[in-house]
Amino acid sequence: MKEPIVGLLCWAALALTASAGDLAAFYAPSGQLILTGLASAPFPHPNRAEGHQYKDQFYPAKEHYSDNTVALFIPKSFRETGRIDLVVHFHGWRNHVEGVLRQYQLIEQLVKSERNAVLVVPQGPRDAPDSFGGKLEDPDGFKRFIGEVAKTLRQKCDLKRKDFSIGSLVLSGHSGGYQVISSILDHGGLAGQVKEVWLFDALYAQTDKFLAWHDQQHGRLLNIYTEHGGTKAETEQLMATLKRRGTPFLACKEAGLKAADLRTHDLVFLYSELAHDDVLDKHRTFREFLTASGLGKR
Q: What is the pLDDT of residue 2?
A: 36
Q: Is residue 80 part of a domain?
A: yes
108 falls within a domain: yes
Among candidates 165, 208, 204, 201, which has minimal Cα distance to 277? 201
Question: Is 194 part of a structural domain of the chain?
Answer: yes
Residue 60 covered by a domain? yes
Nearest to 118 by CA among 181, 162, 180, 74: 74
Give how many domains the chain has, as a whole number: 1
Q: Does pLDDT of 256 surpass 90?
A: no
Percentage of the chain lying above the pLDDT 90 cut: 89
pLDDT digits (tens, 9 = 90+) for 55-94: 999 999 999 999 999 999 999 999 999 999 999 999 999 9
Q: What is the pLDDT of residue 16?
A: 41
Per the prediction, the chain carries an average pLDDT of 93
The answer to whether residue 1 is domain-embedded is no
Provide the pLDDT for residue 225: 98
What's the CATH number where 137 sits? 3.40.50.1820
Side-chain half-sphere CA neighbours of 222 within 13 A: 31
* 268 in a structural domain: yes
pLDDT at 13 over 60: no
Digit-coded pLDDT (tens) for 151-204: 999 999 999 999 999 999 999 999 999 999 999 999 999 999 999 999 999 999
* Model pTM above 0.95: no
Band of residue 10 on the pLDDT scale cut at 50, 70, 90: very low
User: Is the distance from CB of 163 to CB of 187 less than 8 angstroms?
Assistant: no
- Higher per-residue confidence, 256 vs 189: 189
Q: Is residue 297 part of a domain?
A: no
Structural domain of 269? 6-292
Q: What DSSP letter does each residue of the chain carry, written as one string?
A: -----HHHHHHHHHHHTS-GGGHHHHHTTTEEEEEEE-TTSS-S-GGGTT-EEETTEEE-HHHHS---EEEEEEETTPPP-SEEEEEEEE--SSB-HHHHHHHH-HHHHHHHHTB-EEEEEE--SBTSS----GGGGSTTHHHHHHHHHHHHHHHHS--S----EEEEEEEEEEGGGHHHHHHHHHHSS-GGGEEEEEEES--SS-HHHHHHHHHHH--EEEEEEESSSS-HHHHHHHHHHHHHHT---EEEEGGG--HHHHHH-SEEEEEE-S-GGGTTTTT-HHHHHHHHSSPPB-
pLDDT of residue 11: 41
> Which letter, b or e, does each residue of 252-273 get, where b requires 16 or more Cβ atoms within 10 Å of its Cβ?
eebeebeeeebeebebbbbbbe
In a domain, 131, yes or no: yes
Query: Does residue 4 register a pLDDT over 50?
Result: no
Give dist(CA 185, CA 191) in Å, integer: 5
Question: In b/e form, how buried is each residue of 25-60, taking b as 16+ CB within 10 angstroms?
Answer: ebbeebbbbbbeebebbbbbbeebeeebeeeeeebe
